[in-house]
Amino acid sequence: MHFENVKLIKKANVYDNGKVSSRTFYLGNGERKTLGFMQAGEYSFNTGAAEIMEMLAGEMEALLPGESEYHLYKEGESFSIPANSSFKVKV
């Protein structure tokens, strides 16, 4: 994956005592993206806007809204989160 002509926001978004962090950047067309990193652990997240989580490396289990069981996602896979919802992950 390669992006050109991006604007990077220097300040990191840090969660769970530094175990989860992300950086926001904008593509040349104005599209907002984030690049996140997670240490091993279990985390809960809330969304305001709809999100697509793309696994660039490693794997994690996710419990998505409306589901009762975790699903394993590996490198190269993705899943969608609706706006104004919450989900859990195990890394």
Q: What is the pLDDT along the chain (91 residues), one digit of tens a residue?
A: 788 889 999 999 999 999 999 999 999 999 999 899 999 999 999 999 999 999 999 999 999 999 999 999 999 999 999 999 999 999 9
pLDDT at 77: 96
DSSP letters for 21-80:
EEEEEE-TT--EEEEEEE-SSEEEEE-SS-EEEE--SSEEEEE-TT-SS-EEEETT-EEE
The verdict on pTM exceeding 0.85 is no
**In this predicted model, what pLDDT tens digit does every residue of 49-67 receive, in sequence order?**
999 999 999 999 999 999 9
